[in-house]
Chains A and B, each alone.
Chain A
Amino acid sequence: NAGVMQNPRHLVRRRGQEARLRCSPMKGHSHVYWYRQLPEEGLKFMVYLQKENIIDESGMPKERFSAEFPKEGPSILRIQQVVRGDSAAYFCASSPQGNSPLHFGNGTRLTVT
């Protein structure tokens, strides 16, 4: 898990604030995925990105959520105007190829107060 770096590990935001979650994939990996785990549930796919491209965002809520993976720098998951229901663990994963097993980071635990 140490290969995929996520920060911060814990993030506390008040309702209405913005949350920015960062993910640096493993070296050599150009495919990045974001998953969300709500309490007592499994992980749910949110978005799949390659460098500068969103490939599949079918799991992203229609509003307030966005993701990017720029040419330089980490992938960013951005949540605007957070609500209590956004409280969850957000996991980033990367792979060297589209059909390779995913390597997950240790997640960012977002708490909205």
Chain B
Amino acid sequence: DQQVKQNSPSLSVQEGRISILNCDYTNSMFDYFLWYKKYPAEGPTFLISISSIKDKNEDGRFTVFLNKSAKHLSLHIVPSQPGDSAVYFCAARANAGGTSYGKLTFGQGTILTVHP
């Protein structure tokens, strides 16, 4: 039962252009969403998050959009840089009876390659 899905295994983008990574979820109890970036042989690094009470959150070149009715979120990176090449994971957290903690459900990841 894949509750968080990233349907694109890979994405290739030219440097300077926009990268859009997508994520769909099925669990209506998810109330907090995160994006992590991962380089080979390293652990995931937190990038940006969004609460379900918002529909957009920006941090520099990174913007996350949330469409609750469609159960869809996306990460926009603009402008894309070669150093952004990595695996990007979408993750979601459910509110467990009013208590939230770091039990995350991850998508399968999307490999982003930014070409110079």
Contact = CB atoms under 8 A, between A and B. Distances in A.
Nearest to B4: A42
A24 B105 CA distance: 23
Interface residues of B, number: 24
B101 A44 contact: no
A105 B43 CA distance: 5
Interface in A28-75: 31, 33, 35, 40-45, 48, 55-56, 58-59
B28 interface: no
A102 B46 CA distance: 7
Nearest to A109: B41
A101 interface: yes
Given A41-B108, A42-B109, A43-B89, A99 B101 contact: yes
Nearest to A41: B108
Contacts of B4: 42
B108 A42 contact: yes
